[in-house]
A and B are shown apart, each in its own frame.
Chain A
Amino acid sequence: MTESQPLEGKILTKPFLVLAALALVGGVLIVYRYVFGLGAVTNLSDGYPWGIWITYDVLVGTALGCGGYAMALLVYAFNKWEYHPLVRSAVLTSVFGYTLAGVAVFLDIGRYWNGYNLFLPWRVNFNSVLVEVALCIAAYVVVLWLELAPALLETRSDPKAQRTRRRLETLLPIIVSLGILLPTMHQSSLGALMIIAGPKLSPLWQTPLLPMLFLITAIAMGYAVTVFESLLSSLAFGRPYETPLLARISTVMVGFVGIYLVIRLADVVLRGQAGLIFTDNLTSVMFIIENLLFLQAVIILARPANRSDNRWLFISAILLLLGGAVYRFNAFLVGYTPGFGWRYFPALPEIFITLGIVALELLGYLYFVKRYPILPKAEHA
């Protein structure tokens, strides 16, 4: 008995081939990176040691991968089973978002052959926020694949696969609980990473609330990406829209963002930094853009009629995803000033490697939804 089914259909479509070409370009550049070093493909410097691979691939990438987390929270912790049909596709986007964020980390670290040291407790510095982030994300990637595994095993007919599937399903409460705990930990820690940068990060973003703000936006982005993905796959694959469910999710989402905006602005004001918002430089403009994106999404979704309109749902989900992405770019790059004279804008190969990784994510998604029971069963009228 299942509420999901594979889409079937041809794998090698035109979009698939375009994405594959992008992934290939990324792959070639990655080889170049390993032969000639990070400086050969990036504009990173001693002033800006972290660029888009961290900010986009890891921070934004895992936040976009929070669909599985946000939906699990709603369905399993808050007992809202009506949303269950959306869980599998949300978990699938999370699987790719997180797995490839892990890959991006391996591209980014300079001495990757020493990477195993992170997993040896006697070599790890448990005071480091980065340790919490790294171990937690690594563990969550495993948990996500375990969450997805029953869907993959469902299509197999051999008794051994079915036994494994049943065993996994008995472990479901543990797997799901970990699947909620781990993102709560590392999504907040991703924000906590910047606390140690102290005055190098503009007071518009540097706050002890960084972990909480990162967590709330990650959850909101998780719902937004679920709405976005559901609408897009309905459109692309000509399937019926899940509008009533999405309307209810957007109610939850707008609640999170509303609370977020109140905390975010109150924090800036109470720390006495509100003046920085109106200084007419890059940071102030980016701060305003970041918060207007969130605010616009709230304004749109505040009207109940808009929540049942696919177009407004889609627009507000995109606004929210952009807002969360801009917040992350601001907190790690735009608001970060290492000192006089340092500049950073990603190099072309750096951008193409990120595009290649995104393409690989989409390729994986397309393949899996066509071959495995991921998307909700279409109910034909």
Chain B
Amino acid sequence: MGLSRRNFLKAAAGGGLLAASQLSPVPVWAREPKTRLPEALGILYDATLCIGCKACMSACKEFNNLPPDPSSPEGLWDDPLDLSAKTYNIVKLYTSGSGKTKDQEEDGYSFIRRFCMHCVDPACTSACPVEALHKDPITGIVKYNKDLCIGCRYCQIACPYNVPKFEWDTPFPQIKKCQLCEHRLARGSYPACCEFCPNGASIFGEVQALRKEAKRRLSLPPGSQATFPVHRIDTGEYRYATVGHYFPRVYGEMDGGGTQVLIMAGVPFNKLGLPDLPPESTASHSETLMHSLYKGMIGPYVLFAGLFYLVYRNTSKKDLP
């Protein structure tokens, strides 16, 4: 059977439909990046105030009922090397050269605390197929609901900080991560890490207030004495400390679309294991693409109609197979 003009046109129409469904470089339905919630809650961690005592780690374990996570062969100590399903919060150490001066990039060291950043526009909640991970519409806390979770682990692929952790050694696993001590918030308390931080390195509060506080710290002259709130931003409780030499930026202000956990340090953030991220979340890229192709299912319906027309015309002339 030769390729008649008519068949060619039909084929071209079909190909055009297929191509149109794919080639959409112009984001027709761009998903705008999400903005900060007005009453969002978060934590400000200031590495220059952190003394590496790990009180936050043991408090986190105690109040989240997490088991020890030994990494040494004897298994005597709770000394996790990284976040895991047993460890929602960890203090790590950066060293360089002689490692003598605190909060200095060369020949210095810095502590860095890692836990869920509670993103403004979280990739994990966009990835999660069943809303097992979801962002609280008021507090912005990224919460986990095990009753919905299917254990697909797409959240782990999506998270730029590798925060969600999976229980690999049980037949009935869950995803585990920091939920900002949501159970403590529910009874009027606040995250254990902040309550037990003796130095005001981690303070809890409304993100708006925390951002203001971070900006204030950046504007203070390094080496001077200043007041620093402890435990939480809104109680008026404070201590005096020497202002550190800050790296002139707050991590989480814009990174990956912004986070509700804000980090300050004397060492560039990428040295501390915090990824360099573009100012918008990968969730907005992914959703823009999906919405462009599937918004209202218009694309698939049009394609289906076109295909049906072609297939119907082509089969009705032929003996059925």
Chain A residues proximal to chain B, CB less than 8 Å: 1, 3, 34-40, 44-47, 49-50, 73, 76-82, 84, 87-88, 108-112, 114-115, 117-118, 123-125, 127-132, 134, 150, 169, 172-174, 176-178, 180-181, 184-185, 188-189, 192-200, 208, 211-212, 215, 336, 338-340
Contact = CB atoms under 8 A, between A and B. Distances in A.
Given A35-B171, A195-B285, A208-B285, A173 B162 contact: no
A79 B127 contact: no
B215 interface: no
A81 B3 CA distance: 11
A171 to B, nearest CB: 11
A336 B157 CA distance: 9
Interface stretch (B227-235, B241-249, B303-311): B303-311
18 contacts: A35-B171, A46-B85, A49-B153, A50-B157, A76-B311, A76-B314, A77-B314, A79-B7, A84-B321, A127-B126, A132-B290, A134-B129, A178-B304, A192-B290, A196-B283, A198-B277, A208-B285, A208-B289
Contacts of B148: 114, 117, 123
A124 B286 contact: no
Contacts of B153: 49-50, 110
Contact of A109 (B150, B162, B275): B150
Contact of B308 (A150, A174, A208): A174
Point out which of A46, A109, A134, A215 has the most chain B C-beta atoms below 10 A from its C-beta. A46
Interface of B: 1, 7, 10-11, 14-15, 18, 21-23, 25, 31, 83-85, 123, 125-131, 146-154, 156-158, 160, 162, 165-174, 273, 275-278, 282-283, 285-287, 289-290, 293-294, 300, 303-304, 307-308, 310-312, 314-316, 318-321
**What DSSP secondary structure best describes chain A's contact surface?**
helix
Contacts of A178: 304
Contacts of A109: 150-152
Contacts of A185: 300
Nearest to B83: A46
A46 B153 CA distance: 9
Contacts of B321: 3, 84, 87-88, 150, 172
Contact of A131 (B129, B160, B314): B129
A111 B173 contact: yes
A115 B173 CA distance: 14
Nearest to A342: B162
Contacts of A174: 308
A117 B282 CA distance: 25
Contacts of A211: 22, 289, 293
A199 B146 contact: no
A172 B320 contact: yes
A118 to B, nearest CB: 6
A176 B312 CA distance: 9
Contact of B156 (A46, A181, A198, A208): A46
Contact of A129 (B25, B31, B290, B308): B290
B126 A128 contact: yes
A47 B22 contact: no
Point out which of A76, A77, A81, A196 has the most chain B C-beta atoms below 10 A from its C-beta. A196
B276 to A, nearest CB: 8
Contact of B126 (A118, A180, A196): A196
A111 B290 contact: no
B33 to A, nearest CB: 13
A212 B126 contact: no
A219 B122 CA distance: 33
A352 to B, nearest CB: 19
Given A79-B10, A112-B150, A114-B148, A192 B286 contact: yes
Given A184-B303, A211-B289, A212-B23, A37 B129 contact: no
B300 A199 contact: no
A199 to B, nearest CB: 7
Given A77-B14, A196-B286, A123 B131 contact: yes
Contacts of A108: 152
Contacts of B156: 46, 49
A104 to B, nearest CB: 12
A37 B314 contact: no
Contacts of A340: 273
A39 B147 contact: no
A46 B162 contact: yes
Given A37-B167, A109-B152, A128-B129, A184 B21 contact: yes
Contact of B160 (A50, A130, A199, A208): A199
B150 A111 contact: yes
Contacts of A338: 162
Contact of A77 (B11, B165, B283, B300): B11
